[in-house]
């Protein structure tokens, strides 16, 4: 078996054919990613650098490119450059907290609407339904009924109060005409 080695210059370590092949494949993949990125959002300094050189920029060059295009870019060492400032990190953290809170509230709304929709379909007398409850459903109902009813009552009060406030605002915007 042959051990084919390519030597770029006298100072460099010899590279095996498989190492060169892997490096060329990595360059092709990286260039195709950069070309796809440029086609999607337009050419910029980062995609141009990768397309021209076939590798990601070193961290200091990546930081300069990132500042030029106004976003972070991946450097050859895998880091995102330029590094975020303390203010940017705090802002991102606050944004993530707001998004988490928003998702939590949307989940509450989804459960509320589902519960109201499901209960609105029930027509039979609750007393007649009790006998149909199985023994494995009983503990769950016992555990959650009081908390669920209490929360739903609080929600209903808030909802009705909101309706009264909206009605008052509408009436103040468009007062009834008096007939003299």
For the chain, the domains span 12-81
At 110, the pLDDT band (50, 70, 90 cuts) reads very high
Q: What is the pTM of this model?
A: 0.55
Contact status, residue 75 vs residue 30, Cβ threshold 8 Å = no
How confident is the model at residue 24, as a pLDDT?
76
Q: What is the pLDDT of residue 128?
A: 93
Tens of pLDDT, residue by residue over 69-98, are 998 999 999 999 999 999 999 999 999 999
Q: What pLDDT score does 14 carry?
A: 67
SS3 of 25, please?
Answer: helix
Q: Where are the alpha helices (DSSP H) in the chain?
A: 17-41, 45-53, 59-69, 86-121, 126-130, 138-173
């Amino acid at each position: 078996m042959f051990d084919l080695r390519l030597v770029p210059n006298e100072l460099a370590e010899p590279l095996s054919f498989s190492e060169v092949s892997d490096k060329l494949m990595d360059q092709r993949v990286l260039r195709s990613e950069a070309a796809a990125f440029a086609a999607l959002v337009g050419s910029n300094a980062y995609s141009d650098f990768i397309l021209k050189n076939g590798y990601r920029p070193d961290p200091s060059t990546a930081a300069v490119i990132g500042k030029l295009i106004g976003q972070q870019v991946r450097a050859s060492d895998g880091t995102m450059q330029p590094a975020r400032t303390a203010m940017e990190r705090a802002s991102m953290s606050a944004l993530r907290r707001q998004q988490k809170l928003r998702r939590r509230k949307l989940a509450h709304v989804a459960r509320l609407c589902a519960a109201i929709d499901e209960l609105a379909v029930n027509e039979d007398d609750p007393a007649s339904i009790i006998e149909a409850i199985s023994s494995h459903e009983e503990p769950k109902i016992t555990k959650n009924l009081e908390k669920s009813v209490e929360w739903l009552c609080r929600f209903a009060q808030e909802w009705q109060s909101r309706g009264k406030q909206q009605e008052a605002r509408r009436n103040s915007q468009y007062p009834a005409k008096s007939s003299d």
